[in-house]
Structure 1
Amino acid sequence: MPTPKEKAAFAKRLKDSLEPLKIRGGTKLAEQFNLRYRGDRPVTPQTAHKWLTGTTIPKPDKLRTLAEWLNVKEHWLHYGPSPGASARPMARGEKYPPSPEIIELASKIQSLTPKDRFLVEEMIVRFYGEDNEEE
């Protein structure tokens, strides 16, 4: 049986993985989860809320669906990084340190006129999917 500390750590990994999708509450999580889950019993908003608050950790079939949806390793989502692991999987939305190529690209974008910079920013937002308003 997971300890309260393990449940809280799971909840943090789950919330961090959901952040880029702008899913913050149990109702929205349950709704989106149930669209992907192929099991017998869909989750309720109350159950999803318990996942987000670290009250419970999902059963293996639901954990598998979450991991596939969020594009993270099931083991990492449930347990976190392995002890002594030098590298851990990046959670969705977690940022890699900027590479020299990224810094050069940012400099080029910064040198654009304000109008062109706005256009590039709008394209990035459009492709990245941040243009979805919260419901």
Structure 2
Amino acid sequence: MRTRMVLVALGTLIGVCLLCGTLHTQLAREAQLVVGSCEIVTLDRDSSHPQRTVAKQTARCACRRGQIAGTTHARPACVDAGVIHDRQWCDMFPCLDGESCNLLFNQSGWTCSLPGGRIKTTTVS
């Protein structure tokens, strides 16, 4: 009788361990990004300034060799590392279609100018 109880308990323990291992593998797979893709991790907006919104975002990227996290068409993207190294931000096409890109004078970021005079300024930290 005791041996049977031990075998049942052991079988239940093995089943629970297999289930935990399967769940862990599934969660680890979901947490990985596809190579060459990015996701926004945090996005904070501050609209307390009149006529100005300050937004800060953090992205997580899984880039290929020779690439680094950047911005393409106003979204996080993997871009050529040389663009970041040389601070030639407009070479990664950070603005939306119809917007023009200009480097800030100290190369600390860029502006995207929209028709009608609206300007979006992005600085890199």
Q: TM-score range by the shorter chain?
A: under 0.3
Which structure ranks higher in relative contact order (CA pairs < 8 Å, sequence separation ≥ 6)? Answer: 1
What is the TM-score with the length of structure 1 in the denominator?
A: 0.22
Whose helix fraction is larger, Structure 1's or Structure 2's? 1
Whose strand fraction is larger, Structure 1's or Structure 2's? 2
